[in-house]
Amino acid sequence: MPEKTPPIQATKLMKQLMADHFLGLDRAAAQGSPKVAWCTSVGPAELLVAMGFEVYFPENHGAMLGASRLATETIPVANALGYSPDICSYLTADVGAFIKGITPLTRAYGIKGVPKPDVLVFNTNQCRDVQDWFEWYGRHFGVPAIGVRTHRGVGEVKDYMVADVAQQIKDLIPTLEQVSGNKFDIDRLREVVDLSKQCTVLWRKVLEYGARVPAQMNFFDHTIHMAPAVVLRGKPEAITYYDTLLAELVEREKLGYSAVPGERMRLYWDGMPVWGRLRMLGDLMNELRAAIVCSTYCNSWIFDAFDAADPFESMARAYLELFIVRDEAYKEAYMLEHIQRYGCEGIIFHDAKTCPNNSNSRYGLPQRFAEIHGVPSLVINGDLNDLRCFSDEQAKTNLEAFVEQIEEMAA
CA distance 406 to 411: 9
Of 228 and 366, which CB lies nearer to other proteins in the complex structure? 366
Residue 312 · residue 342 · CB < 8 Å: no
In angstroms and rounded to an integer, the radius of gyration of the C-alpha atoms of the chain is 21
CA distance 216 to 102: 36
Task: Please state the closest distance from residue 328 (CB atom) to other proteins, in A.
Answer: 20
CA distance 102 to 114: 9
CA distance 41 to 56: 9
For other proteins, the binding residues (CB under 8 A) are: 370, 376, 379, 381, 389-391, 393-394, 397-398, 400-402, 404-405, 408-409
Task: Please state the closest distance from residue 281 (CB atom) to other proteins, in A.
Answer: 16
For residue 348, list its beta bridge partners: 269, 378
CA distance 169 to 42: 12
Of 147 and 271, which CB lies nearer to other proteins in the complex structure? 271
**DSSP at 376:** -
Contacts of 47 (CB under 8 A, 6+ apart): 169, 172, 173, 176, 189, 192, 315
Task: Please state the closest distance from residue 343 (CB atom) to other proteins, in A.
Answer: 21
Which segments of 27-143 are extended strands (E)?
A: 36-39, 54-56, 119-123
Of 173 and 370, which CB lies nearer to other proteins in the complex structure? 370
Q: Which letter, b or e, does each residue of 115-147 get, where b requires 16 or more Cβ atoms within 10 Å of its Cβ?
A: bbbbbbbbbbbbbebbbbbbebbbeeeebbbbb
For residue 54, list its beta bridge partners: 36
**DSSP at 120:** E
Of 136 and 402, which CB lies nearer to other proteins in the complex structure? 402
Task: Please state the closest distance from residue 283 (CB atom) to other proteins, in A.
Answer: 13
Task: Please state the closest distance from residue 166 (CB atom) to other proteins, in A.
Answer: 42
Task: Please state the closest distance from residue 388 (CB atom) to other proteins, in A.
Answer: 9
Task: Please state the closest distance from residue 377 (CB atom) to other proteins, in A.
Answer: 9
Please say whether the dihedral angle defined by the alpha carbons of residues 324, 326, 327 and 332, taken in this order, is positive or negative: negative
Of 198 and 359, which CB lies nearer to other proteins in the complex structure? 359
Task: Please state the closest distance from residue 78 (CB atom) to other proteins, in A.
Answer: 21
Of 18 and 399, which CB lies nearer to other proteins in the complex structure? 399
Of 187 and 404, which CB lies nearer to other proteins in the complex structure? 404
Of 220 and 390, which CB lies nearer to other proteins in the complex structure? 390
